[in-house]
Amino acid sequence: MNTAVEKLFLDAASNRHLDWLESEAIHIMREVAAECTNPALLFSGGKDSVVLLRIAEKAFRPGKFPFPLVHIDTGHNFPEVIEFRDRRAAELGERLIVRSVEDSIKRGTVRLRNPQTDSRNAAQAVTLLETIAEFQFDACIGGARRDEEKARAKERIFSFRDEFGQWNPKAQRPELWDLYNTRVHPGENMRVFPISNWTELDVWQYIAREKLALPSIYFAHERQVIPRNGLLVPLTDLTPAREGETVETRTVRFRTVGDISCTCPVASDAADVDAILAETAVTQITERGATRMDDQTSEASMEKRKKEGYF
């Protein structure tokens, strides 16, 4: 098989695979709209939630989305991502509900030792549960994927949360033959993950195929960083250098975006989607394993946060 024919064959196979994943995600999203009374789509401006927006467009356009977009803002997000979030929601003409961890701190429902510098990542769970109660959402659609982290690999596509917003991995419902049980009692809710079966490579292939815009920090740029515990911590007011540490200017990009206090870039010169695809195809470390300081505290840190109501 010559190179041109081989490329056509591989491209066709890739598109068939993406078509299948897209079709499944559209079906799941329509199932949420049909079976749930008051759902919401969690939209942070990150790459996975950008994919969810495109899935929603294909599922429901030319009509409006049958749910609002919701973001839980830690107040410590990267400004490039927040600007992109607001711009994309405006372009779509969809309602964006933003609730802030800062407001939860002011109410006293979130207490941090130092609210100005402590990580607010886990505290998002409290603000999310408050938002669910405020709007009485019975389902929240999110962009989590099973390949990200082993606790997420335990997650069902329709992941049940009890009346306290907690996740019990031992009390999840079977989903044989893609049959989803959406029944909840008042106060209970579902987290629904339409792209649960996607990989990081699938996401980037879909972004390339659909020509989706993303925040600029996903692409290679120069940034001051601090090498620490095998990660490149971005130099910010929230994450300053410690005594004895060295600040370096490196060419980096972000594989995932989140709270500044716990999200690190990776060394990379991948400045466009094609270069990121090539890089992702050979990487042997998951995006969270390569970028998240909060997942280094223990092997069970993500599962603990999810049990408390985390996304």
pLDDT computed for residue 115 by the predictor: 75
pLDDT in tens, 63-95: 999 999 999 999 999 999 999 999 999 999 999
Say what angle helices 200-210 and 3-35 make with each other, to 10 degrees. Answer: 100
Q: What is the pLDDT of residue 49?
A: 95
Higher pLDDT, 215 or 7: 215
293-297 contacts: CB < 8 A, separation 24 or more?
293/119, 293/229, 293/231, 293/233, 293/261, 293/262, 293/263, 293/264, 294/119, 294/121, 294/122, 294/262, 295/149, 296/229, 296/231
* pLDDT for the residue 157: 86
Query: What does the pLDDT read at residue 4?
Result: 52
Q: How far apart are CA 272 and CA 268, in angstroms?
A: 11
pLDDT in tens, 258-288: 889 889 999 999 999 999 999 999 988 877 6
Sequence-distant (6+) residues with CB within 8 A of 297 are none
* pLDDT > 60? residue 300: no
Nearest-angstrom CA–CA distance, 71 and 309: 15
Of residues 239 and 286, the one with the higher pLDDT is 239
Give the pLDDT band (50/70/90) at residue 30.
Answer: very high
How many Cβ atoms from other residues are within 10 Å of residue 196's Cβ?
A: 23
Helices 47-60 and 3-35: angle between axes, nearest 10 degrees: 70
Q: Which residue has the higher pLDDT, 227 or 289?
A: 227
Measuring CA to CA, which residue among 150, 177, 102, 73 is closest to residue 306? 150
Q: What is the pLDDT of residue 121?
A: 82
Predicted pLDDT of residue 99: 96
Q: Using alpha carbons, select from 118, 99, 106, 91 the residue that is nearest to residue 44.
A: 99
Highest mean pLDDT among 93-102, 147-156, 172-181, 300-309: 93-102
Per-residue confidence (pLDDT) for residue 225, from 0 to 100? 96
- Give the pTM: 0.87
Q: Judge whether 55 and 85 are in contact, CB under 8 Å.
A: no
Residue 183 has pLDDT above 90, yes or no: no
pLDDT of residue 134: 95
pLDDT for 151: 67
Q: Which residue intervals of 36-111 are DSSP H helices?
A: 47-60, 79-92, 101-107
C-alpha dist (Å) from residue 222 to 200, 205, 252, 269: 23, 25, 6, 9
For the chain, percent of residues with pLDDT exceeding 90: 61
pLDDT tens digits, 120-175: 888 889 999 999 999 999 999 999 898 876 666 677 888 888 887 787 877 777 77
Percentage of the residues of the chain whose pLDDT score is greater than 70 = 87
pLDDT at 3 over 90: no
Contact 68, 60 (CB under 8 A): no
Residue 191 zone, left/alpha/beta (φ > 0; ψ -120 to 50; rest): beta
Contacts of 123 (CB under 8 A, 6+ apart): 74, 101, 104, 105, 110, 112
Give the mean pLDDT of the chain. 87
Lowest mean pLDDT of 160-169, 236-245, 251-260, name the range: 160-169
